């Protein structure tokens, strides 16, 4: 008997299209460069889910497809956060982290149990790094900004990405701990994550719809 997928999981996937639609509705009003990268990130997430679902129907297992796509999506998001840094040193640090993550990914994929290494090491590592990037950007830019932060694209997008990567980091160890003893808890956790992702992409959409203030060129006050 085929298990019916909860509607909220489909809604969470479709919510990734909201920032893309918001960018299209701006009608010539320019997005900041990092916000454009986040739109690309959302578009790649949508394409990834669509192609992954197709492969799953045809071959039954689709993890291998994420080996190139997941690092690409994550590095695009991390580069966007580097552009939101108002301190040159922080920008450099972010850009150094990207090749380091790619080296870790390559090493994991060269291991004999590469599927387990990718699932247990690479995905959690990227999620944790992006969670840190989102929270750091929110805190640093908020404390150094002289503008009203609710009028800044990085504020809403950072909030949204903090939510989606925060739940991504938390749910993996939770699922591994309770998948055998309490699978119902795990199912409820994934449904809760889906609702959180919907909220996250609504916040990101809010950021895409804003007219951003220009980024400063050097460190200090933004």
Q: Where are the alpha helices (H) located in the chain, listed in sequence order?
A: 7-14, 17-25, 33-59, 66-83, 88-109, 114-117, 123-144, 153-178, 183-209
Residue 105 has pLDDT above 90, yes or no: yes
Q: Looking at residue 221, what is its pLDDT?
A: 40
Within a domain: 142: yes
Q: Would residue 4 count as lying in a domain?
A: no
With cut-offs at 50, 70 and 90, classify the pLDDT of residue 56. Answer: low
Q: What digits encode the pLDDT tens for the residues 138-168?
A: 999 999 888 889 999 999 999 999 999 999 9
| 117 vs 88, higher pLDDT | 88
Which residue, 77, 22, 23, is CA-closest to 45? 77
Separation of alpha carbons 188 and 193, rounded Å? 9
Does any domain span residue 215?
Answer: no
pLDDT, position 124: 92
User: Does 199 fall in a domain?
Assistant: yes
Q: How confident is the model at residue 177 (pLDDT cuts 50, 70, 90)?
A: confident
Q: Are the CB atoms for 156 and 207 separated by under 8 Å? A: yes
218 vs 83 pLDDT, higher one: 83
Asked whether residue 217 is domain-assigned, the answer is no
pLDDT confidence tier of residue 214, bands split at 50, 70 and 90: low
In Å, what is the CA distance from 196 to each residue of 13, 15, 45?
12, 11, 16
Give residue for tokens 């991504």.
Answer: 168
Structural domain includes residue 1 = no
The answer to whether the CB of 128 falls within 8 A of the CB of 169 is yes
Given this model, what pLDDT does residue 38 score? 97
Structural domain harbouring 177: 15-22+31-209
CA neighbours closer than 13 Å in the CB half-sphere of residue 15: 22
b/e burial code for range 177-191 (CB count within 10 A of at least 16 → b): eeeeeeeeebeebbe
pLDDT mean over 34-55: 89
> For residue 61, what pLDDT is reported?
60
In a domain, 79, yes or no: yes
User: Has residue 221 been placed in a domain?
Assistant: no
Measured CA to CA, the distance from residue 36 to residue 43 in angstroms comes to 11
Average pLDDT along the chain:
87
Domain count for the chain: 1
* pLDDT of residue 51 exceeding 90: no
> What's the pLDDT at 81?
97
């Amino acid at each position: 008997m085929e298990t019916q997928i909860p509607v909220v999981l489909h809604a969470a996937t479709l919510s990734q299209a909201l920032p893309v639609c918001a960018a299209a509705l701006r009608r010539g009003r320019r997005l900041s460069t990092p916000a454009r990268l986040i739109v690309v990130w959302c578009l790649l997430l949508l394409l990834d889910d669509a192609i992954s679902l197709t492969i799953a129907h045809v071959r039954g297992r689709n993890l291998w497809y994420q080996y190139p796509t997941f690092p690409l999506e994550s590095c695009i998001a991390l580069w966007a956060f580097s552009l939101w840094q108002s301190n040159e040193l922080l920008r450099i640090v972010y850009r150094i982290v990207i090749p380091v993550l790619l080296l870790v990914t390559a090493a994991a994929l060269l291991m004999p149990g590469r599927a387990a290494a990718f699932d247990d090491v690479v995905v959690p590592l990227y999620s944790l790094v992006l969670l840190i990037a989102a929270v750091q950007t929110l805190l640093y830019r908020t404390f150094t900004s002289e503008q009203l932060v609710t009028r800044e694209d990085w504020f809403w997008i950072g909030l949204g990405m903090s939510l989606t990567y925060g739940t991504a980091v938390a749910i993996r160890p939770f699922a591994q701990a309770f998948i055998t003893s309490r699978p119902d808890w795990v199912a409820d956790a994934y449904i809760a994550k889906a609702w959180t992702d919907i909220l996250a992409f609504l916040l990101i959409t809010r950021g895409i719809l804003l007219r951003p203030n220009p980024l400063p060129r050097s460190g200090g006050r933004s």
